[in-house]
Chains A and B, each alone.
Chain A
Amino acid sequence: EVQLVESGGGLIQPGRSLRLACAASGFTFDDYSMHWVRQAPGKGLEWVSGLSWNGGVIAYADSVQGRFIISRDNAKNSLFLQMNSLRVGDMAFYFCVKGAGTNLIGEGFHFDNWGQGTLVTVSS
C-alpha cells in the first residue's frame, strides 16, 4: 500500500523559512515523479512544484518560483520542500503527491496517490 506522510508544518512568521518532508513507502520511490500541491483552508487545489524521478527536471508555480526549492532523496524515499521568504498567502495544507509516471510529462502529471497533508500557518 502506498503511503505518503508529510511532516514539518506549523506556525511560522512571515519572511521566515520552513522545510517540509514527505516519507514515502509502499512503492519504488525512484520510479516516479513527485509533487507538492497546496490548498488554502476552504479554497481550491494549487500545484506548487514537481520533479522527475531523478530530480533532473524540476518545475515551480509562478507564485513560489525563486522562494521554494523542491528536492528528493531516493536513497531515503523522501521528498522535501524548502520554503523561504514565507508570505501570508502561502498559508495552506501542503500535500505530498505521487505522480503515476517517471517524468514531468504525461502520466507523471496524474496524481495517483496523496498524503494527508501538513498545515503551514504563516502569521505574525
Chain B
Amino acid sequence: NFMLTQPPSVSGSPGETITISCTRRSGSIDSKFLQWYRQRPGSSPTTVIFEHYHRPSGVPDRFSGSIDRQSNSASLTISGLRTEDEGDYYCQSYDDNNRGVFGGGTKVTVL
C-alpha cells in the first residue's frame, strides 16, 4: 500500500488562485488514475477531477488537475476562488492490490 499526503488546510480570498497538493510517498504518482473530491459539511463527496485531469460535467473550468512527476505529486488548482468552493478536498487513487487509497483531506477556507 502507499500513502497520499495532503496539507491539512489551504485558504485564499475571493478571486484568488489556490493549489492543493497530493504527494505519493512510494510508487509513481501517475501509475494509477487519481481523483479529487469535494465534500461540503453534511454532504457526501462529489468528484471535481477524475483520471488526473478530467472535469465531470457541471464542474467549472476554474478547477484543474495536474501531475508533477519530479515531486511525485498531483495538484488541484482552483482559480477565481468563490465562497461556494469551501469544503474538504480529498485526493484518491488505488494500489496494486486493487485497494482504494485516500489522502487525509484538505480544508479549503475562503477568507
Q: Does B13 contact A (CB under 8 A)?
A: no
Question: B45 touches which one: A59, A106, A111 (CB < 8 A)?
Answer: A111
B23 to chain A, nearest CB (A): 16
Contact assessment for A47 and B47 in the assembled complex, using a CB-CB cutoff below 8 Å: no
Stretch touching chain B among A14-22, A83-91, A113-121: A113-121
CB closest chain-A residue, reference B6: A44
Q: Does B37 contact A (CB under 8 A)?
A: yes
Contact assessment for B50 and A110 in the assembled complex, using a CB-CB cutoff below 8 Å: yes
Interface residues on B, range: 20 to 34
Q: Does B90 contact A (CB under 8 A)?
A: yes
- Total A-B Cβ pairs within 8 A: 69
Q: Does A11 contact B (CB under 8 A)?
A: no
Contact assessment for A35 and B51 in the assembled complex, using a CB-CB cutoff below 8 Å: no
A120 to chain B, nearest CB (A): 16
Contact assessment for B44 and A115 in the assembled complex, using a CB-CB cutoff below 8 Å: yes
Interface of A toward B, CB cutoff 8 Å: 35, 37, 44-47, 50, 57, 59-62, 95, 100, 104-107, 109-112, 114-117
Interface of B toward A, CB cutoff 8 Å: 1, 32-33, 35, 37, 39, 44-47, 50-51, 56, 88, 90, 92-94, 97-105
